Structure 1
Amino acid sequence: MSDEDIQTLNRPQVVRTPADQRLPVPAHVAPTWLGPVLIVGIVLAALNLRPAITSLGALFEETRTGLGMSGTVAGLVTSVPALCFAVFGVTAPRLSRRFGPAAVVCAGMAAVAAGLLIRPFADNAVGFLAASALSLAGIALTNVLLPVIVKRYFPDRVGTMTGLYSMALAAGTSLAAAATVPLTDALGGSWRTGLLVWAVLALAAVLPWLPVARASRRAERAAAQASADGPAARTDAGPRIVRSRTAWALACYFGLQATGAYVTMGWLPQIFRDAGVSASTAGVLLAVTMVMGVPLAFVIPGLAARMRNQGAIAAVLGVFGLAGYLGLYLAPAAGAWAWALLLGISNCAFPLVITMIGLRAKSPAGVVKLSAFAQSTGYLISIPGPLLIGTLYQHSGGWDLPLALMAALLVPQIALGVLAGRDRTIEDECGVRD
């Protein structure tokens, strides 16, 4: 961590009053240890945002058999993540205003750990779904609030910090997908043990957020005391998000990129296997697609933060996706490695949209509302995608029609990315004054 980052954290915070006075919070409320601990907390939280999903995917057949899940229930399990992200994500702004974003992220990590600890011991599908929903609720809250944490504590390093946690998120996704089966085999072969092991990582993520949450609460109390002799402080609830065209563009862009990501994670190995690629190679190809997100998730946010308009990046990523789907359509087996790489690059629209969320709002209040709106709306949009692709595949008997649909969806995704990338803020669009 650089001296400049520590100076940013130790810079006196301000409280805005109705008279537009800025009341400083004493610098001692941001102790010198806060910066490094906060960075560790952000990285560990990001590492835990996907293993609950991808570890289950690796052992889904064993879990389904072990719990006696019907086909309908199994289909519901695959749709639960996006549904939970949408439903629980909308509660993040209210909880953040009530308890502070750091405290909510701490509680979110605790929920992730609790769910991962409970679900391997479930003896039926209902209990398993309930425990999974607990973990996913914690993930949903953290999904929404990590951009807020970055905006609040690293306002001059939005791109760098977003890149750091996006890279950690991609690493956690890939690690759980690749390591769950080998870990399960090494620990005795039980799917319950293979799922339980990821609770250890989640428990580790809770630890750094405990002191951060306490420091945040002390800062809020100091701010309240500093403003006690002045006009009563007003809680800024942020702009009315639904009035912003940029917010809607970001939400729809988020939804379409999430659709592409879930289709890739769920169906890409099957596409390769149907083209004659072996099962083991198809799994490696999916891992290659996912691993591409690790380095690019760090590079893209930093690049986007230095640009006034991020539409060009959205367009380039979309073109890579179009090339990947065209390759799968024409020669899925012959160019399999190239198509996996191209789709891996295209899927890096996620760190781009997360970065744009931090750039399209001026205040932490605006970021939390924009993050909740864009992610909750976006995940709702993404829910039908994988199911529709599976239906088209089943009824058409091949991948031509599903691939054509995925390529077609990239056209509005590019257009929405260009709109969302324009240099403007939701506060300006909603008429909110600084």
Structure 2
Amino acid sequence: MSTDHISSHSRQSVLTLFFPMVIIAVLAMTLRPTLTSTGPLLQEIRLSTGISLQVASLLVVLPMLCMGVFPLLLPWIGKRLSESVWITGGLFAIALAGLWRLELASGWTLIASTLLGGIGIAVVQAMAPGVVKRWYPQRVPLAMGIYSASLMAGGGSAAMLSPLVAQHYGSWQAGLGIWLILPVIALLLWWLRPSEEMTTKHSNGKINFFSNRRAWLLASYFGLANAGYACMIAWLPSYARGLGWSAQDSGELIGIMTIFQVIGALAAPALSASRLDRRPWLFFAVGIQVLGFVGLMLMPDSMLILWVSMIGCGLGACFSLTLTVALDHLSAPSLASALTAFVQGIGFIITAIVPYLAGFLREWTGSFQAVWIMLLITLVGMLLVTIKFAPASYAKAINLPNV
């Protein structure tokens, strides 16, 4: 065998292994800037548009609802178009929402752009775990860790940089709209993906998880795991500004949280990869959030960065581990994709409700303390549920008559 042939084969192996991972990472990075870019600029947005706190909560609630509704519709509408068409359309919607945000004139047009972006996010996010499972069937924890970390890195970057962009251009609209760049890059990479990757239509139309208790348990767990994240990106900047932080500093606080989210999202799946039982790391992920929220309630001024870092680490680990546990339940990529679609669907509907309740509690009590207490209660419930995720129970728990 010639040296040139070996070199060509090596290059092809590297391309096959790493280029799909780059695509997954960039796809994931498009999924949060629509949500996280608004929080640090919320004061400027409210002064400019006059929207209330509860209306402002729609900037997070609407995308979360979209993330919940679309995966539930996927068994019916997913088979009508190919995976490639759905992901391409979703990325276009996110990019168009960003373009629209550059020229916003009112609060309600901002809400409408958020809805458009939320639909695109929901489409791409529903497809992504199935892509991960199919492209990396032997490396699911690692691939899900990179997917989760990239998702959070995209969100954190938007929170940190949006105030700087807004300040530079003298417009909060620019701080929001700049993020159309990411879906444009993702579109280019998606179109350049290896030609052998699946472009067929979804075949999950006959799979129904609505009658399965384990699917509901996983979905509820996932929803509550993301509720803390939704509340933090929606209200942490406002909370920090109430303590005297500037718009830029409050955005950087989200950035700090994101750094630890990325650490948690990468480290927890990697550390748990050697064994199928993910529960010890789930206990850690939930427990460190409990400590963080307790600290946020008792000593917010002196150690805010520490508490936010702990919460971020727990949120990142919890997100990637929960999706990994869902994928662990079924070995076939198509079935695992259908289960994660259900988990994300019901889960994000639950997630969407919580920041809206948080906004109501904040306006009703005049303080964020009630919000942190609500999240603590959900975390204690998650600790109790974690016990049930023993690998020996997977096959029996997820056994469906029609699978």
TM-score bracket, normalised by the shorter chain, equals 0.7 to 0.9
Q: Is the Cα contact below 8 Å between 1:102 and 1:212 reproduced in 2?
A: no
Cα distance in 1 between the residues matched to 2:52 and 2:307: 34
Q: Is the Cα contact below 8 Å between 2:214 and 2:397 reproduced in 1?
A: no
Number of the residue aligned with 1:361? 330
Q: 1:202 aligns with which of 162, 167, 183?
A: 183
Count, aligned residues: 391
Match status 1:383 vs 2:383: no
Q: Could you report, residue by residue, the CA deviation over 1:398-427 in whole angstroms, capped at 9, with x for unpaired residues? A: 444433322121111122333245444468
Q: Could you report, residue by residue, the CA deviation over 1:55-89 in whole angstroms, capped at 9, with x for unpaired residues? A: 22233343444455466643433421212211223
Q: 1:138 aligns with which of 82, 97, 120?
A: 120
Q: Could you report, residue by residue, the CA deviation over 1:185-226 in whole angstroms, capped at 9, with x for unpaired residues? A: 33x2122222222112210100121243864467x59xxxxx
Number of the residue aligned with 1:408? 377
- 1:330 and 1:57, CA in 2 relative to 1: closer, same or farther beyond 3 A? closer
The code of the aligned residue for 1:191 comes to W
Q: Structure 2: any 5+ residue segments left out of the alignment?
A: 1-8
Number of the residue aligned with 1:99? 81
Q: Which segment drifts farther, 285-294 or 146-155?
A: 285-294
Match of 1:309, SS state, is: coil
Cα distance in 2 between the residues matched to 1:305 and 1:96: 31
Q: Is the Cα contact below 8 Å between 2:35 and 2:233 reproduced in 1?
A: no
Q: Which segment drifts farther, 191-200 or 48-57?
A: 191-200
The code of the aligned residue for 2:322 comes to V
- 1:137 and 1:398, CA in 2 relative to 1: closer, same or farther beyond 3 A? closer
Match status 1:112 vs 2:80: no
Q: 1:295 aligns with which of 259, 263, 268?
A: 263
Q: Is the Cα contact below 8 Å between 2:71 and 2:126 reproduced in 1?
A: yes
Q: 2:67 aligns with which of 85, 88, 93?
A: 85
Match of 1:169, SS state, is: helix
Q: CA deviation at 1:273?
A: 5.3
- TM-score (norm. length: structure 2): 0.85
Number of the residue aligned with 1:228? none
- TM-score (norm. length: structure 1): 0.80
Cα distance in 2 between the residues matched to 1:379 and 1:307: 28
Cα distance in 2 between the residues matched to 1:96 and 1:203: 23
Q: Could you report, residue by residue, the CA deviation over 1:108-153 in whole angstroms, capped at 9, with x for unpaired residues? A: 2122112212232244444433332222111112212111001112
Q: Is the Cα contact below 8 Å between 1:119 and 1:131 reproduced in 2?
A: yes
Q: Is the Cα contact below 8 Å between 1:34 and 1:212 reproduced in 2?
A: no
The code of the aligned residue for 1:114 comes to L
Cα distance in 1 between the residues matched to 2:31 and 2:385: 25
- Give structure 1 regions of 4+ aligned residues with deviation exceeding 6 angstroms: none
Q: CA deviation at 1:175?
A: 0.6
Cα distance in 1 between the residues matched to 2:366 and 2:48: 30
Cα distance in 2 between the residues matched to 1:260 and 1:278: 21
Q: CA deviation at 1:292?
A: 0.4
- 1:176 and 1:377, CA in 2 relative to 1: closer, same or farther beyond 3 A? same
The code of the aligned residue for 1:184 comes to A
Cα distance in 1 between the residues matched to 2:235 and 2:330: 35
- 1:423 and 1:49, CA in 2 relative to 1: closer, same or farther beyond 3 A? farther
